[in-house]
């Protein structure tokens, strides 16, 4: 019998479903010291105790996403959006419930995680490709496209610690989209980087979604969710508030935040 807390790849489950999230919860447990005095530290140590803080980051969330959908994940700070994405990516196992994913996932979470700053962009492309499951030949074939898309010029052969955050982001985005993923997860990819690259990135994502690839985009820029997504999930305090058409979900989210028209257009790029 399979356990209730797992992320698994399924191929026979349903051809139409790319991602199924079923009653998923995640609780972070963090041990910490509340600036202990010498006395409390001794007492705790004596009892083998540590203070534990629990955060219910995602609570009983369920939804299904068919292949080919571009899903915008919206919600206030701390709503649980990134946690949900990490679980879909298989980086964090749910505390409860299950997530079924059909296909190969490529992630652009917390941009460039996995890159080694001491190595050159070129070496990181190779490492990133291998980590993403490509063979050396496949990476070799795609290398020029990745480098060209990132537009780093000769910086591609410089250590990544010399990159600006925008350059870092362009390379991370380029690697993720060239992995030929079935499911692409992007967390705030459009928040930094210059206007030209944002447009190019948006066009590339539309391209992927048009080719029946599934995409998740976590963003505070409601306009980009409206423009690029045909599906939306609104999270608040770890709970799923609404799942549906981006236009409707965004309208409800705005009502909830009591945003006026002006605030809305100012928040977007
Ligand atoms: N590693 C962690 N350990 C403990 N608590 C965490 C950890 N990561 C996130 N949290 C907590 O879980 C909750 C959800 O965080 P999460 O990052 O998923 O929210 P988010 O919707 O992505 O927020 P934002 O829009 O600010 O990026 C928050 O209360 C956060 O403080």
Q: What's the CATH number where 131 sits?
A: 3.40.50.300
Q: Which two tokens stand for residue 71?
A: 């899903």
Asked if residue 31 belongs to a domain, the reply is: no
Asked if residue 202 belongs to a domain, the reply is: yes
Ligand 1 mean position to 87 CA, how many Å?
A: 13
Handedness of CA 106, 107, 112, 116 (dihedral sign): negative
- DSSP E strands in 112-269: the ranges are 183-187, 214-218, 231-236, 239-244
Q: Which helix (H) or strand (E) holds 18?
A: strand 17-32
Asked if residue 89 belongs to a domain, the reply is: yes
Asked if residue 32 belongs to a domain, the reply is: no
The pTM of the whole model exceeds 0.80? no
pLDDT along the chain (269 residues), means of 10: 41 69 95 68 66 91 94 94 92 95 77 78 90 87 94 95 89 86 78 76 80 86 88 96 96 82 44
- How confident is the model at residue 3, as a pLDDT? 38
Closest residue to atom 17 of ligand 1, CA basis: 82
Q: Which helix (H) or strand (E) holds 101?
A: strand 96-101
Q: How far is CA 104 from the centre of its chain?
A: 14
Q: Count of residues for the chain?
A: 269
Asked if residue 34 belongs to a domain, the reply is: no
Ligand 1 mean position to 237 CA, how many Å?
A: 10
Q: What is the DSSP letter of 176?
A: H
Residues enclosing ligand 1, CB less than 6 A? 28, 30, 55, 57, 75, 77-83
ipTM topping 0.90: yes
Average pLDDT, rounded, for the chain: 83
What is the domain extent for residue 245? 6-25+62-267
Distance CA 200, CA 195 (A): 9
Instruction: Provide the CB-side half-sphere exposure for 47 (13 A, CA).
Output: 8
Asked if residue 44 belongs to a domain, the reply is: no
Asked if residue 54 belongs to a domain, the reply is: no
**Residue in the block written with tokens 């919600």:** 75
- How confident is the model at residue 203, as a pLDDT? 85
235 CA closest ligand 1 atom index = 21
Instruction: Provide the CB-side half-sphere exposure for 96 (13 A, CA).
Output: 10
Instruction: Provide the CB-side half-sphere exposure for 9 (13 A, CA).
Output: 7
Q: Are strands 105-108 and 183-187 parallel, antiparallel or unpaired?
A: parallel
Ligand 1 mean position to 149 CA, how many Å?
A: 31
Closest residue to atom 3 of ligand 1, CA basis: 28
Asked if residue 49 belongs to a domain, the reply is: no
Ligand 1 mean position to 91 CA, how many Å?
A: 14
Distance CA 27, CA 6 (A): 14
Among 149, 213, 210, 199, residue whose Cα is nearest residue 178: 149
Q: What is the largest CA-CA distance in the chain?
A: 63
Between the two ends of the chain, the Cα-to-Cα distance in Å is 49
Residues 6+ apart with CB under 8 A from 133: 104, 179
Ligand 1 mean position to 152 CA, how many Å?
A: 32
- How confident is the model at residue 105, as a pLDDT? 84
Number of domains the chain is built from? 1
Ligand 1 mean position to 84 CA, how many Å?
A: 10
Q: Are strands 231-236 and 239-244 parallel, antiparallel or unpaired?
A: antiparallel
Among 117, 81, 99, residue whose Cα is nearest residue 10: 99
**Residue in the block written with tokens 């356990």:** 3
Indicate the top mutation candidate among 82, 218, 241 to test ligand 1's pocket, ranked by most ligand atoms within 8 A of CB: 82
- How confident is the model at residue 260, as a pLDDT? 45
């Amino acid at each position: 019998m399979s356990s209730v807390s797992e992320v698994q790849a399924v191929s026979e489950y349903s051809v139409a479903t790319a991602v199924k999230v079923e009653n998923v919860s995640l609780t972070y447990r963090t041990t910490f010291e509340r600036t202990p005095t010498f006395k409390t530290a001794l007492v705790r140590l004596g009892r083998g105790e540590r203070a534990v803080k629990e955060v219910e980051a995602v609570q009983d969330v369920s939804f299904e996403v068919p292949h080919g959908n571009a899903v915008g994940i919206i919600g206030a700070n701390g709503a649980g959006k990134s946690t949900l994405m990490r679980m879909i990516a298989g980086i964090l196992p749910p505390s409860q419930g299950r997530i079924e994913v059909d296909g190969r996932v490529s992630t652009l979470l917390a941009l460039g995680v996995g890159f080694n700053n001491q190595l050159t962009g070129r070496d990181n492309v190779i490492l990133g490709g291998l980590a993403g499951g490509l063979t050396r030949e496949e990476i070799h074939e795609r290398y020029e496209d990745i480098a060209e898309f990132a537009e780093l010029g000769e910086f591609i052969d410089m250590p990544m610690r010399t990159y600006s955050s925008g350059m870092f982001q362009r390379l991370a985005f380029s690697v993720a989209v060239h992995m030929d993923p079935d499911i692409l997860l992007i967390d705030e990819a459009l928040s930094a980087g210059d206007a030209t690259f944002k447009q190019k990135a948006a066009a590339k994502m539309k391209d992927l979604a048009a080719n029946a690839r599934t995409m998740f985009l976590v963003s505070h820029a409601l306009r980009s969710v409206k423009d690029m997504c045909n599906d939306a999930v609104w999270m608040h305090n770890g709970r799923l508030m609404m799942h549906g058409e981006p236009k409707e979900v965004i309208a409800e989210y705005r009502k909830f935040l009591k945003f006026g028209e002006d605030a809305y257009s100012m928040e977007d790029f």
